[in-house]
Amino acid sequence: MKTLKNYKAQGERLAEKQKKLQEQVMEKQKQKPEKKESKPMQAGARKYPEPPVGNQHLKKPGKEKNLEVKPMYDAPYYKGSGKLQDMVAVITGADSGIGRSVAVLFAREGADVSIVYLSEHEDAVKTKELVENEGRKCILIPGDVSDKEFCQLAVRETIDKLGKIDILVNNAAFQLHVEEFEDLTEEHFDLTLKTNLYGYFLMCHAAVPFMKYGSAIVNTGSVTGITGNKYLLDYSMTKGGIHAFTRSLSSNLISKGIRVNAVAPGPVWTPLNPSDKEEKQIAKFGSTTPMKRPAQPEEIAPAYVFLASPQCSSYITGEILPIIGGYKGG
């Protein structure tokens, strides 16, 4: 039986072993040449813009047509294969950004699209043309998703013009940075919650009664809803709420055969951020991710296809899919 003296000696031997390992590692590190700063990761079918992507500030609500560096949304290497054949999708905030790319890929997969948007009419018309170029029908419905009656109207218009609703994508959002907590006004806070939370709730409330067994809802969350953001307190709170709403609604709608999931993007080059940040902040946008660049909408949109398609994700509901350009670790 070992004594305390034996264990003391054992501990000293282990400490000496740890010291030697440390010295070996440090010696190897000294022998290696100094690492150069890595370049932004490019692992896609084509090269994407790297910071500084642009330094242009846009006025709200932010129009894609006014951006000098255009978001990449058309995914020319993405080949459709009928994953959403003859389905009908309602997509809010689909005039530009992620929503536009989702609309294009949904159409490429065989879906007709109803685009619900605020007031960016020229952007919306462009998206409609893109959907129709894919050989599918598209209608435009401008209005405010925080208005219950408008959401009901949007659903009725979609059913009247396109016949049904198989997929609802809640994507419309309001975001505005505030550096000091005291400067976050009640009016600002209320507008963010009404757009980002009420809008999702009201669109779901209006659409679900008309969605059949096998339908799908895909919500747009955010990395800020996972990690928080000190300058986006209200926005982060709504995105965390969307994640919880997604999980809870998925459980509630299982009996109706409706799947509910969310995509949680990291920084994505869309009009949302240039219409929020100042020029110097925009220049660095996306540079702090492990991939050292922002995503482009076409890099995010395939996840919506995946979660919307019964061919791809029939056993998935209540999931939050982060697409954030990698993890840094502890």
Q: DSSP per residue over 65-126, as a string?
A: GG-SS------TT----STTTT-EEEEETTTSHHHHHHHHHHHHTT-EEEEEESS-HHHHHH
Asked if 235 is an active-site residue, the reply is yes
Catalytic-labelled residue, pool 235, 304, 315, 327: 235
Q: What is the DSSP letter of 222?
A: -
The whole-number pLDDT of residue 272 equals 66
Q: CA angle 259-262-266, nearest 5°?
A: 165
When the candidates are 1.20.870.10, 3.40.50.720, 3.40.50.1110, 3.40.50.2300, the CATH number that belongs to 86-323 is 3.40.50.720
Identify the burial level of 210 via C-beta atoms within 10 angstroms of its C-beta, where 0-12 means exposed, 13-18 middle and 19 or more buried.
middle
**Among 215, 224, 136, 232, which Cα is nearest to 179's?**
232
Q: 233-253 and 199-207 helices cross at what angle (nearest 10)?
A: 20
Three-state DSSP at 141 gives strand
Q: How far apart are CA 278 and CA 281, in angstroms?
A: 5
pLDDT in tens, the chain (330 residues): 778 888 788 988 988 999 898 888 888 888 888 777 789 999 999 999 999 887 676 676 767 777 778 899 999 999 999 999 999 999 999 999 999 999 999 999 999 999 999 999 999 999 999 999 999 999 999 999 999 999 999 999 999 999 999 999 999 999 998 999 999 999 999 999 999 999 999 999 999 999 999 999 999 999 999 999 999 999 999 999 999 999 999 999 999 999 999 999 999 998 766 665 566 677 788 888 999 999 999 999 999 999 999 999 999 999 999 999 999 875
Q: Are strands 167-170 and 88-92 parallel, antiparallel or unpaired?
A: parallel
Q: Output the six-digit token pair for 253.
A: 């709608």
Query: 167 has which bridge partners?
Result: 89, 216
The whole-number pLDDT of residue 278 equals 65
